Amino acid sequence: MKLSTKGKYGVRALFEIARNYGKGPLAIKEIAERQQISLSYLEQILHRLGKAGIIESVRGPHGGYELARKPVELTIGDVVRALEGPIALSHCLEPGATTDGCYQAEDCVARMVWSKVGEKIEEALDSITFEQLLRQYHGKDREHPAHRKKLVAAGKGAC
């Protein structure tokens, strides 16, 4: 039940992009430095977010990435789904799952369990918008790259 770094990095990167909302695109290099994420890896992540319609890219000098919608319309759930795939605790609860290799419906005791829990997770993820994050973070500007760098060097724990 851990999140992969993709999801965690994605939220952190989007947080930076969201902070820049309304001020034009933010360069990927800038994001990578502020959040101490490998630039090459970040490219992969941002590309996925682009395909999911969460961010838009502006090419050429002074280009970068910007939010495709207002922070209030972007939830953590959107990001996690884009980066980690659909929230389904079991394979047969995924959207396109076939009946083959699966009890489906009332025959399967476990299905109801994982389905119910999955719904709660989505609810929780979708209840948090980037607007809220921005508001919560307003003013506090203590997450300096240097600090983050030390953490990443330590190896474990960064979220």
Chain residues in the site for DNA (CB under 7 A): 4-6, 9, 25, 27-29, 38-41, 43-44, 46-47, 50, 57-65
Please list every residue from 90 through 109 that binds ligand FES, using CB under 6 A. Answer: 92, 102-104, 108
Q: Is residue 109 classed as helix, strand or coil in its secondary structure?
A: helix
Please report where in the chains the tokens 């000098």 appear, as a residue. Answer: 61
11 contributes a contact to ligand FES by CB under 6 A: no
Report the chain's C-alpha Rg in angstroms.
18
- How many binding residues for a second copy (CB under 8 A)? 55
Query: In what helix (H) or strand (E) does residue 81 lie, and over which residues does it extend?
Result: helix 76-84
* Residue of 15, 17, 33 lying closest to 137 (CA atoms): 15
Please choose, out of 26-34, 36-44, 66-74, 111-119, the segment that lies near a second copy by the rule CB under 8 A: 111-119
Residues forming contacts to ligand FES in the complex (CB under 6 A) are 92, 102-104, 108, 110-111, 157-159
